[in-house]
Amino acid sequence: MGGDLIGSLLIANRGEIARRIIRTARRLGVRTVAVYSEADASQPHVRDADAAALIGPPPARESYLRGEAILEAARASGAEAIHPGYGFLSENADFAEAVIGAGLVWVGPPPAAIRAMGLKDAAKRLMAAAGVPVTPGYLGDDQSPATLAREAAAIGWPVLIKAVAGGGGKGMRRVDRAEDFAGALDSAKREAASAFGDDRVLLERYVTRPRHIEVQVFGDARGAVVHLFERDCSLQRRHQKVVEEAPAPGMGAATRESLCAAAVRAAKAVDYVGAGTVEFIADASDGLRADRIWFMEMNTRLQVEHPVTEAVTGLDLVEWQLRVASGEPLPLTQDQIAIRGHAIEARLYAEDPARGFLPSIGPLAHFALPAGLRVDAGVEQGGEISPFYDAMIAKLIAHAPTRGKAAAKLSAACRAVEAWPVKTNAAFLARLLDEPDVRAGLVDTGFIEARLDALAAPVPPSAEAAARAAGALMPPEDRSPWSARGLAGWRAGAAPATATLQHGDRIVTSAIGAPGSAVLTDDGAAIVFEAGEALAFTRTLASDDAETQGGDGLLLAPMPGRIVQVTASAGAQVSRGQPLVTLEAMKMEHVLVAPFDGVVEDVRCVVGDQVTEGAMLARLAPSPPG
């Protein structure tokens, strides 16, 4: 290969990462080709590219995971190279080989490196041989439940079950007691098989004060490898990253040097080329120390959180990918790369924290993102959130001279997010970023779970928000200061005009303010955006005796999905909180439990069923008194 830059690039991905790659390609004069499923025909990444190709129906397995369809699109469009983004086929060595075999440039590491790091057990053995410290655990081939249970007990509780072919928290379970191991193992294997087509697992010692720290590495075809320093990804929920930052708070110079050197050794051990991330688990019970940081895995692709590294180094990682894939040497040597300031990224998801973070799908009638910081968004107002793909819709990235200023900037940005009727986690993110311990950098991977109820609970609307809603809902004649209602507020000593509103299950009596930025819906509601929340108000009072969800004994599907486990059976006596049905949706398992002590009267689903939102899955009757 020479040094001429790739002239045309097909991006085998969607959403915000496809748009982010297109931005760099356009700046470099590289022609881009997007691919899309039938569900994504009107998505912004399709419009942004110079050309686009339809590759199949909405389900990912019938579109974005169809390697041959993507190769055919590349041939038909005249693309010279394929960039896989992250997820989908990005860490599929067979697909990388097929791309190279078709005479195209693969913008990623060599297939051999993907294979070496793709299976966690083999990767750990390789890293240990290369002098990279690894977490104690079980990496054996014997996958029998009895052997795994015995090895878990030998490691000591708590223990972590991880999918051998896993990533993104799929197929991962923490187990604290021997009696819980069998059920957790079954669930982890089932989820791993669904996500990766491989149900094998490994076991690790669970670190009780863990920090998730990763190092960005880059290699070229000449054998050079550099690191671009570390990121801290400890703020997670259900093993999925929520907030990431660079550099890691509390990282001393000596520990950083040791950690980054280990990451470079890891990359050189597999002759790595391109962008990669070496992930470590740190025991933070006594600060960050080099002798308490262990290798977990290597992600052989660009990471979701790469923008924080770009912010603190001033580099464009996609440009580096394209240059290295074109045969050029690394643009900089290690001593030319430095950290400048601090950057924090928050992942904005289409989900409802108040309902257990259930994905929120449907049209984006109103969608506005903040200005003044980097925003990588995959959707726009007027678009639609599909049930077929990951729920992340944008990333907000704040960069500032200090960590405190970056956190404050990002918190303010999250509070400025506006979305309706799709719900987002913006307010949850803002509250998280405002936590005193987060501001102080005192975090670990269990931080969110320990405070989840408080962080996810809906906050009552302010008086100002209610007044804006009242102003929007009142007829124009009632808002006029010259109307009979409006004049009440102008008489000396008289009370101002008020309105009675409904907000969720709350009755609010509010002054009538200016409508402000309230959004009126077709069904007569006023939507007011406040601190990242979309607050809905109406003038219709709800029934005082409305039953709570599940109070009628109906177990309903909270979203479209596939039934993967049914433990309920007609006639069975069940207890409140007992798991009855497990639904897989948006690549995650959701367990539906009994809403009260009772008897299962009817079960309307079996494993394998595809169900729609609101479908009745089971019906319960309360246990008789006494």
Peptide bond into 247 cis (omega under 30): yes
Distance (Å, whole) CA 506 – CA 504: 6
Q: Which residue has the tokens 């880059």?
A: 218
In this structure, what token pair is assigned to residue 470? 């009242």
Phi (first) and psi of residue 512, to 5 degrees: -95, 110
Which residues make beta-bridge pairs with 264?
Answer: none
Peptide bond into 158 cis (omega under 30): yes
Start-to-end C-alpha separation, the chain: 81
In this structure, what token pair is assigned to residue 554? 């109906």
Check if the beta carbon of residue 231 is closer than 8 Å to that of residue 181: no
Distance (Å, whole) CA 183 – CA 187: 6
Handedness of CA 72, 73, 75, 80 (dihedral sign): negative
- Of the candidates 31, 211, 301, 415, the residue annotated as catalytic is 301
Distance (Å, whole) CA 339 – CA 314: 9
Distance (Å, whole) CA 126 – CA 581: 40
* Greatest extent of the chain over all pairs of C-alpha atoms, in Å: 85
- DSSP character at residue 50: S
- DSSP secondary structure, 334-397, as one string: GGG----SEEEEEEEESEEGGGTTEE--EE-SEEE--SSSEEEES--TT-EE-TTS-SEEEEEE
Residue 136: which of 63, 41, 202, 212 has the closest Cα?
202
Angle at 107 between CA 104 and CA 112, to 5 degrees: 90
Q: At what angle do helices 111-118 and 120-129 cross, to 10 degrees?
A: 100
516: left (phi over 0), alpha (psi -120 to 50) or beta: left
In this structure, what token pair is assigned to residue 453? 């109820």
- DSSP character at residue 39: G
Distance (Å, whole) CA 556 – CA 545: 20
Active site residue 374: no
The Cα-based distances of 580 to 477, 550, 555, 559, 573 in angstroms read: 54, 13, 9, 16, 11
Check if the beta carbon of residue 620 is closer than 8 Å to that of residue 592: no
Which residues make beta-bridge pairs with 84?
Answer: none
Distance (Å, whole) CA 269 – CA 274: 14
Query: Under DSSP, is residue 58 helix (H, G, I), strand (E, B) or coil?
Result: coil
Q: What is the set of active-site residues?
A: 301
